[in-house]
Homo-oligomer: A and B are copies of this chain.
Amino acid sequence: MHFPNFMQILDGIALSKTIKEEVKQVVATYTDKGKRPPHLAAILVGDNGASKTYINSKIKSCGECGFESSLFTFDASIGEAELLQKIDELNKDPKLDGFIVQLPLPKHINENNIIQAISPEKDVDGFTPINFGRMALGLPCYIPATPFGILQILERYKISTSGKHAVVIGRSNIVGKPISILLGLNQPSGNCTVTLVHSKTIHIEHYIQQADIIICALGIPHFLKSEMVKEGAVVIDVGITRVDDATLPKGYRIAGDADFENIKNKCSAITPVPGGVGPMTVAMLIKNTLLAYQRNYGDH
């Protein structure tokens, strides 16, 4: 594959490895002193294939970083009350630094009720309202893993953001909305002029064409076309959609939101899919768990 010299692939696999290696070294400084390692738990309900893949990747990363991990799996038929009881138990467990509830949940369970039951101190996904509010107000918090991963990509690849025009496509609570807020904050990897576009935006390409930094988070494969991208823009592709592909043994491939092949010669940098934001999300969950450990247990 040929790329022009100026174009940079933002390698989320390599970067996530670096970050996990850093975390592992920090953990060793604690365990060398006889402290227990950080401990992350995950709750998985039902048998969604993508959810299982994500969870396995998170558990594997825990092992790589010297973390303890616990996985609690429940049948899709579990009731909301029973799930809330499990969350209460994990909230109270002093040997657990953080935990996540893998989304989506079965339709009979109210996701908001579940998320709001998680103790903010252990909310390493950063999904609780208080965490979200603290993030928006620039207070110490757990930044949701995917936006946190995007910020790390920008920071570690030394992509300056101050005064740049960032256009965020998609307003989900876990990606588009938080990253649109974070990029506008007066802090490192912030200070962007931010435009948030979404399903109700008219002439969406008009805004995207003005962007220095494009964050594409709709979940529509190849939505972002070359003609929407300004020459030299930075493209962060958060899309990770399973598309049927009978030519592959597993029967599907992972598609991003950007038409990578046609954009790669126009932008200055781009995250591939797979291998961009995805692995960073896992690494930042690990990083948040280390933070939780340091705040609640280890760093004193």
Contact = CB atoms under 8 A, between A and B. Distances in A.
A241 interface: no
Interface stretch (A5-13, A84-92, A133-141): A133-141
Given A193-B197, A200-B163, A136 B133 contact: yes
Contacts of A181: 136, 177, 181
Nearest to A199: B186
Q: Give the interface residue-count category, chain A.
A: 20 to 34
A119 to B, nearest CB: 13
Interface in A151-205: 162-163, 171, 173, 177, 180-181, 184-186, 191, 193-198, 200-202
A194 B193 contact: no
A269 B215 CA distance: 33
A13 B134 CA distance: 34
A131 interface: yes
Main secondary structure of the interface of A (DSSP, over half): mixed
A129 interface: yes
Contacts of A134: 129, 133
Given A130-B130, A132-B137, A134-B133, A193 B202 contact: yes
Interface of A: 112, 128-139, 162-163, 171, 173, 177, 180-181, 184-186, 191, 193-198, 200-202, 207
30 contacts: A112-B139, A128-B133, A129-B133, A130-B133, A131-B133, A132-B132, A132-B136, A132-B137, A133-B133, A133-B134, A133-B135, A136-B177, A136-B181, A137-B173, A137-B177, A162-B200, A163-B200, A163-B201, A163-B202, A171-B186, A181-B181, A184-B198, A186-B198, A191-B198, A193-B195, A193-B196, A193-B198, A193-B202, A195-B195, A195-B196
